[in-house]
Structure 1
Amino acid sequence: MAGLPPVPQPIGIFGQFIAQQPETLILKEKVLSLTGDSFSIKLQNGTPILQVEGKVMSLSGRKTVRDMAGNHLFDIVKEHFHIHTTFAIKDPQDRKIMEVKSKFQLLGSKAIGTFTSSNGKAEELQMKGNWFDTTADITDEAQSGIVVARINRKLLSGKDILFGQQTYALQVAPGVDMALMVAMCIAMDEKNNEK
């Protein structure tokens, strides 16, 4: 898998998670997790970088994202009462720092992620997937449509089918916030689970 080229200007909120080189993250849903949908997120070499804990019995499907030291980075929360499926990314003080909103598209899927980068720049990233949502590109239209991340759902194994488990490979370009790309990938997974 060839790495994505670096972005001209950094994109993100969490400086410690800005990719310094092309990175591929593996997001693996935990089988039969007692806490709801939980994910382990590791670099391709197996180094864990984030942990995602789902909340059982939560109407919003709240997922808490922590770094490996256990620091609470943000929550992913489904917002209700929207025409299109919408997820809010909220900081530990419950302030919205990012929104991922799906858009109607005849074939495939499309969502827009909006947030303000740590440098104060308003960002709008577009996520477009194929009809079966096995792949998606996340692009920055303001920077000439450059691909900032690429999601690829690995082919299902028997265990994945039996337990409804998903595994994603998430390529992230240098200069892009890996934690926010994980949030967009999980929002896509949650929307797909609604089907």
Structure 2
Amino acid sequence: MAQPIPIPAPAPSGTKLENPLPIIGTQYCTPYPVDLSVVKKVMTISDGNFVVTDINGTVIFKVKGKLMSLHDQRILLDAAENPIVTLREKIMSAHDRWYVYRGESKEPNDLLFTVKRSSMIQFKAKLHVFLANNTKEEVCDFKVEGSWSERSCVVYAGDSPNIVARMYKKTTAQSVLFGKDNFSVTVYPNVDYAFIIALIVILDDINKESGAE
């Protein structure tokens, strides 16, 4: 009697959260998946500048780096260039720790979350994300795994296989000609998409500094 052909286990799919999970704001959580396009301008004086649009090409966010700053710093702005959050790297941090504050604040009570590499030596980036109220940091609230050179990463809920967002490379003739990196992000329902964009900006910076490709 022929043996049945083993069926491989399905790959982890996107997680549909039952309730909105607003890290930055409830206005960035939708009951349906959100597809965003991200363009990194790679030939500019101020490194780390991004533009984020929806599928219709409408600008949703902008990211700007601060020049002449003691801290490596990025600001996530809305389309009208109002600051949403400020991303600040901790100086002399072995794990490349970043702190993310509401608006342009640096006050502890405005801290939303922190991000750090899971280990000092990595071939591909693995980041652990801790919300501000997770002071013990025994288990991460989110984790990011991916390779910036391949423009591919996955965001997981906690220390689990449940995927809440994906990033993948998108090559266009314009991106090759005009020195821009283009990639797409899919954010699953009820997940804060401003939060996901902030994580991708930090992933970009950590990969650039550490060479974790």
Give TM-score scaled by structure 1 length: 0.81
Number of aligned residue pairs: 187
- Give the conservation status (yes or no) of the 8 Å contact 2:48–2:205: no
The within-5 A match list for 1:112-123 is: 112-115=128-131
Matched position secondary structure for 1:60: coil
- Give the conservation status (yes or no) of the 8 Å contact 1:112–1:125: yes
Counterpart of 2:68 in structure 1 is: 57
Is 1:135 the counterpart of 2:145? The answer is: no
Counterpart of 1:75 in structure 2 is: 86
Is 1:154 the counterpart of 2:167? The answer is: no
Is 1:28 the counterpart of 2:39? The answer is: yes
**Distance change >3 Å, CA 77–CA 47, structure 1 → 2:** same
What residue ranges of structure 2 are gaps of 5+ in the alignment? Answer: 1-12, 134-138
Give the structure with higher Rg (CA): 2
**Distance change >3 Å, CA 141–CA 134, structure 1 → 2:** same
**Distance change >3 Å, CA 58–CA 167, structure 1 → 2:** farther
Higher strand share: 1
- The amino acid across from 1:74 in the alignment is V
- The amino acid across from 2:205 in the alignment is E
Root mean square deviation of aligned Cα: 2.8
Residues 53-96 of structure 1: per-residue CA shift (max 9 Å, x gap) = 11123342211112123322111111122211111111232232
How far apart, in 1, do the equivalents of 2:122 and 2:128 lie?
A: 16
How far apart, in 1, do the equivalents of 2:18 and 2:132 lie?
A: 17
Is 1:45 the counterpart of 2:56? The answer is: yes
Percent same amino acid among aligned pairs?
22
Is 1:6 the counterpart of 2:23? The answer is: no
How far apart, in 1, do the equivalents of 2:165 and 2:152 lie?
A: 11
What residue ranges of structure 1 are gaps of 5+ in the alignment? Answer: none
Is 1:86 the counterpart of 2:97? The answer is: yes
